[in-house]
């Protein structure tokens, strides 16, 4: 069975919910999916300020911290984090930077890649975060899985608007994640 590692940073619970749902959907499609979190020493501060963070705080902390060597054992790598000022979160950036040696060694070359983000404001803002994760993947010589309609973000999934995910997930987001999981599973099982 092929292995997928999903690495997530979640501040208000949205990205955690998306990552966990992708994990479940991939497992339904016979893909071994593992969920990891990046280090966030300030998550407890967010939990004290934000009801969404507080609701998922324990679940997020129960995820194992990702170590770069976990990526070597993966056939597919998925990164997910919130969009912060049209970019990835600082915590996701720290993780991506921690893999610099892997660029030089080529340990991740030819593994499959995808990414997702949740943006409070717009898909336009989210493109910056998706682009940053895709640039990381290009540096690692990963194979980006195309996803999305022509003219939209490809190679990643974007949740737009905080209110959309409060259903946790349902409706249109649920349908989009089903399609996303179908796409990912088709690539990893080929």
Q: pLDDT by residue (tens digit) across 139-149?
A: 999 999 887 65
Q: Which of 79, 100, 83, 101 lies closest to 22, judged by CA? A: 79
| Sign for the pseudo-dihedral over CA of 52, 180, 174, 153 | positive
Beta bridge partners of 78: 6, 114
Both tokens of 102, joined, read 């892997």
pTM equals 0.89
DSSP 96-107: HHTTHHHHHHTT
Containing 164, the helix (H) or strand (E) segment is helix 162-165
- For β-strands 112-119 and 76-82, DSSP reports them as parallel
Q: Provide CB contacts within 8 A for 135, sequence distance 6+.
A: none
Report percent pLDDT > 70 for the chain.
85
Q: What is the Cα–Cα distance from 190 to 186, expressed in whole angstroms?
A: 6
Q: What is the Cα–Cα distance from 83 to 128, expressed in whole angstroms?
A: 8
pLDDT at 28 over 70: yes
Domain that holds residue 77: 3-189
Domain count, the chain: 1
> Which pLDDT belongs to residue 39?
94
- For β-strands 156-160 and 112-119, DSSP reports them as parallel
Can you give the CATH number for the domain in which 88 is found? 3.40.50.360
Q: pLDDT by residue (tens digit) across 85-135?
A: 889 999 999 999 999 999 999 999 999 999 998 887 667 778 889 999 999
Cα–Cα separations (whole angstroms), residue 126 to 26, 113, 145, 152, 169: 24, 18, 18, 11, 19
Looking at residues 8-26, what average pLDDT do you find? 92
């Amino acid at each position: 069975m092929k292995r997928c590692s999903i690495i997530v940073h979640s501040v208000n619970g949205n990205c955690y919910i998306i990552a966990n749902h992708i994990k479940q959907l991939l497992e339904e499609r016979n893909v071994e999916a593992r969920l990891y979190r990046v280090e966030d020493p300030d998550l407890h501060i967010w939990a004290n300020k934000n009801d969404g963070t507080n609701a998922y705080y324990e679940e997020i902390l129960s995820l194992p911290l990702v170590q770069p060597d976990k990526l070597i054992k993966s056939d597919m790598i998925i990164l997910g984090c919130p969009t912060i000022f049209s970019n990835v979160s600082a915590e996701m950036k720290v993780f991506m930077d921690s893999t610099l040696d892997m660029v030089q060694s080529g340990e991740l070359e030819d593994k499959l890649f995808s990414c997702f983000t949740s943006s409070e404001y717009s898909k336009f803002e989210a493109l910056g975060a998706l682009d940053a994760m895709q640039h990381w993947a290009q540096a690692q010589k990963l194979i980006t899985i195309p996803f999305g309609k022509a003219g939209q973000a490809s190679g990643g999934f974007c949740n737009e608007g905080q209110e959309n995910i409060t259903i946790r997930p349902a409706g249109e987001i649920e349908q989009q994640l089903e399609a996303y999981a179908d796409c990912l599973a088709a690539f990893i099982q080929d």
